[in-house]
Amino acid sequence: ICPVGALTERDYTNRLLDDLANPNKVVIVQTAPAVRAALGEEFGFPPGTLVTGKMVYALRELGFDYVFDTDFAADLTIMEEGSEILNRLTRYLNGDKSIRLPILTSCCPAWVNFFEHHFPDMLDIPSTARSPQQMFGSIAKSYWAEKMGIPREKLVVVSIMPCLAKKYECDRDEFKVNGIPDVDYSISTRELARLIKRANIGFPLVLDSPFDNPMGESTGAGVIFGTTGGVMEAALRSVYEIYTGEPLQNVNFEQVRGLNGVRRATINLNGFELKVGIAHGLGNARHLLEDIRNGHNEYHVIEIMACPGGCIGGGGQPLHHGNSEVLYARANALYREDANKALRKSHDNPYIKKLYEEYLGKPLGEISETLLHTHYFNKSMD
Ligand code: SF4
């Protein structure tokens, strides 16, 4: 089985063009954080050029009715996953024998596919939080569609992803309501570049355009999801403040950044030493999981991403041929965008707060569990 879906890559560009031309459809799009750091390479920009505003402009030109940001859903992921980390950790420390640690991040569908096939005895340790792509689709087709008065069957949710595994993630049955997927289909960064070229949009020259709201507003924490260590850093920013009740003085957790295959850090939460691990590449992930299976676990929380470098090095991105300078440049672009954001912690996102006030109630509440969490399957016999 190809964990990243490259052997079953599907091209949805013609379906997208049909949907965009259909006056009876409302077609909206979400763009993953890593896309903005690499799309420019297809148009002659050097690696690490941020083209966020140009990308939004081009998507409007292609005919999308609303252009939103997956980074918004990354902030939402931190609200749910961060709460889950705190909940599990507290219960574990209070002696609840039903809790197993470490908790593993679950935003990467190739990684999810991998542990469902190879580690079915450990399905209780990954976080149940859906990936940002799927959280976005779920909220778009419930909260936002209801607000806008758009029937579910009329709304088409498209995602632009650095990823080939996201194409089959949309198709998983648990992410459908009455047979209609939350995210209808996913287009890769390279496919988007081809569409922009086919439409003769002068990408290098176009002006910047802002995302639409409410699902276009994000914090810096949402942006760094696109690089290895970013999900962990985003979670730490929120977990620290919620656990200690104190403001975080320095939001940059440099110790979790970088491109080493496995990284470790200890974070002091007012006397409690939280031990975290980060791995990218499925070979590294396998070693970590085998250690855990054999009872050698030194971590409370682990982030795993299937692709080298995380999503910046995803299979749907402009080809980088394993060049680590390209990966560093893309990662640094995301850290720059993070540093330039007015808000850098997911729980400070005003639209996320509003979403909980108006609709979800609270993280890990009944509605959140239904719309934003999932479960896993033993696929070892597939
Ligand atoms: Fe997709 Fe790779 Fe990112 Fe995983 S790490 S979500 S496979 S691009």
pLDDT exceeds cutoff 80 at 263: yes
CB 305 near ligand 1, within 6 Å: yes
Per-residue pLDDT averaged across 6-25, rounded? 86
Per-residue pLDDT averaged across 155-179, rounded? 96
- The alpha carbon of residue 134 and the mean position of all alpha carbons in its chain are separated, in whole angstroms, by 9
pLDDT tens readout for residues 72-129? 999 999 999 999 999 999 999 899 989 999 999 999 999 999 999 999 999 999 999 9
Residue 227 C-alpha to ligand 1 middle, in angstroms?
Answer: 10
pLDDT exceeds cutoff 80 at 38: yes
Residue 281 C-alpha to ligand 1 middle, in angstroms?
Answer: 10
Determine which one of 83, 127, 188, 238 is catalytic.
127
Kindly list the distances between the CA atom of residue 64 and the CA atoms of 158, 211, 324, in Å, as whole numbers in the listed order: 9, 12, 34
| Mean pLDDT score of the chain | 95
Give the C-alpha separation, 188 to 169, whole Å. Answer: 13
pLDDT, residue 3, reads 56
pLDDT, residue 2, reads 55
Q: Closest residue (by CA) to atom 1 of ligand 1?
A: 163
Share of the chain above pLDDT 70, in %: 98
The answer to whether the bond into 214 is cis (omega within 30° of 0) is yes
127 is known as an active-site residue: yes
CB 170 near ligand 1, within 6 Å: no
Model confidence band, residue 227 (pLDDT cutoffs 50, 70, 90) = very high
Residues in the chain: 382
Share of the chain above pLDDT 90, in %: 93
Ligand 1 atom with minimal separation from the 310 CA: 5
Ligand 1 atom with minimal separation from the 162 CA: 8
Main-chain phi, psi angles of 31, to 5 degrees: -120, 125
Check if the beta carbon of residue 36 is closer than 8 Å to that of residue 224: no
Per-residue pLDDT averaged across 311-317, rounded? 96
Kindly list the distances between the CA atom of residue 176 and the CA atoms of 167, 171, 266, 375, 380, in Å, as whole numbers in the listed order: 14, 8, 39, 13, 23
pLDDT, residue 362, reads 97
Return the amino acid letter for 70.
Answer: T
pLDDT exceeds cutoff 80 at 360: yes
CB 239 near ligand 1, within 6 Å: no
Q: Which of 156, 20, 100 is nearest to 300 (CA)?
A: 100
Q: Which two tokens stand for residue 183?
A: 């995210």
- The alpha carbon of residue 15 and the mean position of all alpha carbons in its chain are separated, in whole angstroms, by 24
107 is known as an active-site residue: yes
Return the amino acid letter for 302.
Answer: I
Determine which one of 311, 337, 345, 346 is catalytic.
311
pLDDT, residue 234, reads 98
pLDDT exceeds cutoff 60 at 1: no
CB 314 near ligand 1, within 6 Å: yes
Check if the beta carbon of residue 300 is closer than 8 Å to that of residue 274: yes
- In this structure, the number of other CB atoms found within 10 A of the CB of residue 260 comes to 13
CB 327 near ligand 1, within 6 Å: no
CB 86 near ligand 1, within 6 Å: no
Predicted complex ipTM:
0.99
SS3 (DSSP) at 85: helix
- In this structure, the number of other CB atoms found within 10 A of the CB of residue 366 comes to 10
pTM of the full predicted structure?
A: 0.96
pLDDT exceeds cutoff 70 at 257: yes
pLDDT, residue 200, reads 97
Dihedral sign, Cα of residue 223, residue 227, residue 228, residue 229: negative
Class of 6-372 per CATH?
alpha beta
DSSP string of 243-273, one letter each residue:
HH-S--S----GGG-S--SEEEEEEEETTEE
**Which residues are CB-contacts of 338 (< 8 A; sequence separation ≥ 6)?**
220, 221, 223, 224, 344
pLDDT exceeds cutoff 90 at 202: yes
pLDDT, residue 10, reads 77
174 is known as an active-site residue: yes
Dihedral sign, Cα of residue 200, residue 205, residue 211, residue 217: positive
Q: Which of 88-92, 138-142, 176-180 has the highest mean pLDDT?
A: 138-142
Residue 306 C-alpha to ligand 1 middle, in angstroms?
Answer: 6
Residue 344 C-alpha to ligand 1 middle, in angstroms?
Answer: 23
Name the residue with tokens 């409302």.
26
How many H-runs (helices) and E-runs (strands) does the chain carry? Answer: 14, 10
Residue 108 C-alpha to ligand 1 middle, in angstroms?
Answer: 5
pLDDT exceeds cutoff 60 at 7: no
